[in-house]
Chains A and B, each alone.
Chain A
Amino acid sequence: MTKAVEAEGLRKQYGELVAVEELTLSLDAGEILGVLGPNGAGKTTAIRVLTTILGPDRGTFSVAGVPHTRPAEIRRRIGVLPESAGYPDRQTGDEYLRFHARLYGHSRASAREVASALLDEVRLAERGRSLVGGYSRGMRQRLGIARALVNEPQVIFLDEPTLGLDPAGQREVLLLVRRMARERGATVLLSTHLLDEVEEVCTRVLILNRGRIAGEGTVAEVARRAAAPRSAILRVTPERASEAARVLAAAPGIEHVESTNGLPGSLTATLVRSDGNEALRALAEAGVPVLAFELEGARLSDAFLAMTEPD
């Protein structure tokens, strides 16, 4: 089956600065890939290369089965919402979408229909005849997403679509992204800073750091691979709780021990590069019976911080 996006060893350099290095990725149809990374990690450059705005210095890629040597054909099959996209203030939302539909070869009548359907889809139908200059940031982003859909794209690239939006606006855009992938069967490559939403919306994540891939896989895989559990919650008999706390505090791989919300016999141990086995072993050696043991799993945000922390 043809991959929706396939890249092999991409490199892009601006003068001395290497923005993207050895970028290799593969995306199936219908997947939503969250691209994460700190500022300057190379997310926007990677998207600009894959959308043919910038040529790669090295490596190859194909989008929707079209090799990068045919950029015009790739552009026909993709929809893009660039980071900080500008909008013509003196056009109405409807005019803006009709213009872009015409650029993709729609007739006047067809462009009108496409614009109307898309305005409806992004819930801007009532403001379609208003000037874009009067739109809020959230409305502009939704209009930008509608514009990215005028050509029924197979692959959609969204670069920071939730930037500058309030929580409600962010939620609305992310729901729209999920709906696009589900109902249109489009592959989505989404660059964002919102880790919680990525966990919720994306089928896979790719973490970039200084232009290189720091982690890739499903959210659970990346989190598991990159970051150990953060803490262990243990329950012992209340009368042996203080002894258990002493033993744990002296055990390797444990940074801090405290009572869990004041519950008798319940202790929370903060782990440092430990999977919790050291805690269990120390308690067993001290002869303290453990009634319950639970690891609090690592989250994507832990993986993100672990993979992108400065040297």
Chain B
Amino acid sequence: MIAEQELRDLWIGGRALLLSLAFSLLLSVLAYLVATNTALNYLEQRESVNLTLQVAIAIGALLALLVGADTISGERERGTLETLLLTPVPRTGITTGKLLGALSLWIAAFVISIPYVWFLGRGIGIVGVSLAAGLLVGTLLAVFLASLGVLVSALSASNRVSLSVSLFLLLALYAPTQFPTRAQQGWAGELLLRINPIAAGEHYVGKLVIDAHSWSRDASWLVSPIIAAAAFAVAAVVAARWVRLRGAASG
């Protein structure tokens, strides 16, 4: 019931539709540039698909994070949390429902990206593997980030704090992907990439799409995304037991 209501609020309420529309506009511009603009389409076809997929995963997971970060603290700020806590629905049921609602943003983002990936990757036989890799890695990262958002939201005193902390953590997680190539090499650089779920997930997608590696060859890069998704999903659900009317920061 909570998930159903969350989906109704997000999609019929219009917030998710607006975010999805903005996402599809961004993806359209990106696809147009890499596919048609002769001054800018310096990328090889596989790299174009990979870039589009990486953007789709990043933004889809970002949307899931933003919605997750608004769940509990948003209810608290709107004064509707107490009413929800007074129902016989277990608190774990409340966070699980809200988590599923947040994940719907990633599912929508992935569905929107399908025609773009197909258009850019047609003719070289990578559409299927690209979409499958995107779905796998994107779902793991979306579960991880949405859970992170719900967790931060449950513990934050206000919605503003929840959104700020979540975005800061996301930027910190993306930072290693922007390091110079030299910093990403060597055992320390590789370790840094491997333990960062976002960097590791993107690396794995790149290996499948650009380098046409097999699924199993670089599977070890999926360890941190899998662990992060599972650990944070469990933490978000378990943290529900400590959901209070006021966040931790306000006592």
- Name A residues whose Cβ lies closer than 8 Å to a Cβ of B: 14-15, 48, 51-54, 72, 75-76, 78, 80, 82, 84-88, 90, 99-100, 102-105, 147
Contact = CB atoms under 8 A, between A and B. Distances in A.
Nearest to B83: A85
A147 B85 contact: no
Interface residues of B, number: 18
24 contacts: A14-B251, A15-B251, A51-B86, A52-B86, A53-B82, A53-B86, A54-B245, A72-B90, A76-B88, A80-B83, A82-B83, A86-B80, A87-B80, A88-B78, A88-B80, A90-B9, A90-B13, A99-B5, A100-B83, A103-B1, A103-B88, A104-B87, A104-B88, A105-B88
Nearest to A100: B87
Nearest to B2: A103
Interface of B: 1-2, 5, 9, 13, 78-80, 82-83, 85-90, 245, 251
A53 B85 contact: yes
A74 to B, nearest CB: 9
B83 A84 contact: no
Interface SS, B side: loop
Nearest to A95: B8
Central interface residue in A100, A105, A147, by most chain B CB within 10 Å: A100
Nearest to A150: B87
Contacts of B245: 48, 53-54
Nearest to B87: A103
A72 B88 contact: yes
Nearest to A77: B88
A82 B76 CA distance: 13
Given A75-B86, A103-B1, A103-B88, A85 B251 contact: no
A19 to B, nearest CB: 12
Contacts of A78: 86
B9 A88 contact: yes
State the 9 A-B residue pairs at the shortest beta-carbon distance, nearest first: A86-B79, A86-B78, A103-B87, A86-B80, A82-B82, A76-B88, A75-B88, A90-B13, A80-B86
A87 B83 CA distance: 9
A72 B88 CA distance: 5
Contacts of B79: 82, 84-87
Nearest to A54: B245
A72 B82 CA distance: 14
Nearest to B77: A86
Given A14-B251, A99-B5, 13 more contacts: A53-B82, A53-B86, A54-B245, A75-B87, A82-B79, A82-B86, A85-B79, A85-B80, A86-B78, A90-B13, A100-B87, A102-B1, A147-B83
A240 B22 CA distance: 92
Contact of A103 (B9, B80, B82, B89): B89
Contacts of B85: 53
Nearest to B246: A14
A91 to B, nearest CB: 8
Contacts of A51: 86
B35 to A, nearest CB: 39
B71 to A, nearest CB: 14
A99 B13 contact: no
A160 B89 CA distance: 25
A78 B83 CA distance: 12
Nearest to B5: A99
A85 B88 contact: no
Nearest to B86: A80
Nearest to B1: A102
Contacts of A54: 245
A142 B53 CA distance: 50
A14 B251 CA distance: 8
Contacts of A102: 1
B187 to A, nearest CB: 48
A203 to B, nearest CB: 25
Contacts of B82: 53, 82, 85
A152 B146 CA distance: 36
A215 B1 CA distance: 43
A147 B82 CA distance: 13
A102 to B, nearest CB: 5
Nearest to A83: B82
Contacts of A99: 1, 5
A85 B79 CA distance: 5
- Determine which residue in B5, B82, B85, B245 has the highest number of CB atoms from chain A within 10 A of its CB, and name it: B82
Nearest to A79: B86
Nearest to B14: A90
B192 to A, nearest CB: 41
Contacts of A86: 78-80, 83
A159 to B, nearest CB: 10
A90 B6 CA distance: 12
A88 B74 CA distance: 11
A76 B87 CA distance: 7
